């Protein structure tokens, strides 16, 4: 467990170095982290909503290209 916590601290320090947030004042860090978390939550929510529909549409298109076309009611009636 101690090794895991030290690794998480190391990742946090790397994040601070990459984003240069170690130079920010505390109120700036709160604002910066809030914007980052809000952006990540929005992206995760959008991916949850839209990615499955896009994958399904791509799969249907692939099946259409391979020749597995679903029958519609007009072709059944003829």
Q: Which 3 state secondary structure label does DSSP give 71? A: coil
The domain limits of the chain are 24-68
pTM of the model: 0.61
In the structure encoding, which two tokens stand for residue 53, read together?
């529909």
**What is the structure's pLDDT at 74?**
56
> What's the pLDDT band for 59 if we cut at 50, 70, 90?
confident
- Tokens 């990742």 correspond to what residue? 11
- Compute the distance between CA of residue 44 and CA of residue 50 in angstroms, rounded to an integer: 10
**Which candidate, 63, 61, 59, 62, places its Cα nearest to that of 51?**
59
What is the tens place of the pLDDT at every residue in 62-78?
887 777 666 665 555 55
List all residues 6 or more positions away from 28 whose beta carbon is below 8 Å from its beta carbon.
21
């Amino acid at each position: 467990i101690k090794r895991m916590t030290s690794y998480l601290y190391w990742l946090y320090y790397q994040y601070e170095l990459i984003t240069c947030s170690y130079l920010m004042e505390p109120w700036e860090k709160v604002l910066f982290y809030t914007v980052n978390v809000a952006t990540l939550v929005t992206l995760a929510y959008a991916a949850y909503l839209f990615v499955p529909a896009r994958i399904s549409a791509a799969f249907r298109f692939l099946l259409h290209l391979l020749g597995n076309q679903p029958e519609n009611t007009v072709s059944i009636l003829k």
